Amino acid sequence: MYIEFSPTRMVTGGAGKLEAVLKKFDGGAPVVEGKTHQALSGFTEDTVYRVETEHQCETAPMTLTDSELSEWHEFASSCGAGEFFTFDPFGTEAAPSAPATVQLKRKSFKQQRRPGSRFVFSFTIVKIVA
């Protein structure tokens, strides 16, 4: 997995690039975001805002230094408010596979600490289809 983002919170001053192995990459069914209004007469009106897909992602456990961990924190703080970033689930920076412009779903970024300074990150990405 490869992520490229614009570091805006300046937690680390890094380049805004992350690579990791994905353990989980689920989802992808289209979801229609919108609203339905039903009048007293029974007439129903649907308003579609967008069609999007969501993917739940989880990295394999990684041993990280303090500066590498700070890069992940920079990603969470720089993209946590809906900022767009490039995400490639099966590629790397050197060998891209299918990069897409996506958003991080608000409040979905989670960090788990495992024994031996090993970390697992999970998050949900949202890709706007139409």
What pairs with residue 113 in β-bridges? 119
| Per-domain boundaries in the chain | 2-30+42-128
Per residue in 63-108, pLDDT (tens digit) is 999 889 999 999 999 999 999 999 999 999 999 999 999 999 999 9
SS3 72: helix
What does pTM read for this prediction?
0.85
Per residue in 6-24, pLDDT (tens digit) is 988 776 667 899 999 999 9
